[in-house]
Amino acid sequence: MELIRKGAEAELYLTTYKGRPAVLKRRVPKRYRVRQLDEYIRKTRTRREARLLERARRAGVPTPSVYHVDEERTEIVMQYVEGERAKEYLLRTGDAGLMRKIGEHIALLHGNDIVHGDLTTSNIILADTGLHFIDFGLGAVSTSIEDKAVDLVCFRRSFVATHPEIADAGWNALKEGYGRYPRAPDVWERFEQVVRRARYL
C-alpha cells in the first residue's frame, strides 16, 4: 500500500476495495498517552468518523462512502475521492466565491445537527461530483447552538491563518451560504459571544 499522508493522528494509504480505489485511514498509537486511554480515544474517533460520514451524506453533504470499519485496528477503508483540496484550490486561484458553497454545505450539516469538529480547507475535497467533506473524527451529533458556533469559530481561525488574502471576502461568502440554515442568526449571535469570551481567556 502506498502511504499518501501521515497526518497529525492518522496514516493514510492508497488501496483498493473490491476493485475500487480506496483510502485506508489508520489511527496510530500516541506514545505520550496512557495506552488504555489512547486505545479508547482511537476507537471512539474511528467509530465516530464512520458514523458521521454516513450521517453527513444522508444530510445531503457528499462524503466518501465507508467501505469497511475495523474498530479493533482503528482503521476505516473509504472511497477515494479524486480531486483537489479546497486549501490548494483557494491558494492557487484566490476564488473566495467557493466559500459560499462551503457555507451551504455547513448549513446542511448543522441543519441536521452534525458538528464537524475540525473544519479546515484541508478537510474539503473538490470533486467533479461536488464538494466532499472528510475527517469527522472530532465531530458530534448535537442540537446545541453553542457547539455549532464553536465549529465556525474554529473554522474562522484556521481559515484566516491559511488564507489571509481572502479572509474577509471568503468569510462574507461563507456567511451568505450558511444563511440557508434557518437558525443561522442565532449561531452568528453566539459566534460573537464565543469570540469575545475567548479574548478574555
Ligand X SMILES: Nc1ncnc2c1ncn2[C@@H]1O[C@H](COP(=O)(O)OP(=O)(O)OP(=O)(O)O)[C@@H](O)[C@H]1O
Nearer to Mg ion, 110 or 116 (CB): 116
Nearer to ligand X, 25 or 148 (CB): 25
Q: Site map for Mg ion, 107-146, x if CB under 5 A?
A: ----------------x-----------x-----------
Q: Is 118 a catalytic residue?
A: yes
For position 7 contacting ligand X by CB under 6 A, the verdict is: yes
Name which of Mg ion, ligand X, none residue 166 binds, using a CB cut-off of 5 to 8 Å depending on partner kind: none
Name the region of 107 (left: φ>0; alpha: ψ -120 to 50; beta: rest). Answer: alpha
Q: What is the largest CA-CA distance in the chain?
A: 54
For position 9 contacting ligand X by CB under 6 A, the verdict is: yes
For position 74 contacting ligand X by CB under 6 A, the verdict is: no
Candidates 118, 135, 168, 186; catalytic one = 118
For position 49 contacting Mg ion by CB under 5 A, the verdict is: no
For position 151 contacting Mg ion by CB under 5 A, the verdict is: no
**Coil, helix or strand for 157?**
helix
H-only helix segments in the chain: 35-58, 86-93, 98-111, 145-162, 167-178, 184-200
What are the grid coordinates assigned to 200, written together?
A: 478574555
Q: What are phi and psi of 79, to 5 degrees?
A: -55, 135
Positions in 101-130 near ligand X (CB under 6 A): 122-123, 125
Neighbouring-strand partners of residue 22 = 15, 79
For position 75 contacting Mg ion by CB under 5 A, the verdict is: no
What are the grid coordinates assigned to 174, written together?
A: 461563507
Options 26, 45, 85, 100; binder of ligand X; rule CB under 6 A: 85
Q: Are 26 and 73 in contact (CB under 8 A)?
A: yes
CB closest to ligand X, residue no:
7
In 3-state terms, the chain is what percent helix, strand and coil (to 5)? 50, 20, 30
Q: Which residues bind ligand X (CB under 6 A)?
A: 5, 7-10, 12, 23, 25, 64, 78-81, 85, 122-123, 125, 134-135
The catalytic residues are 118
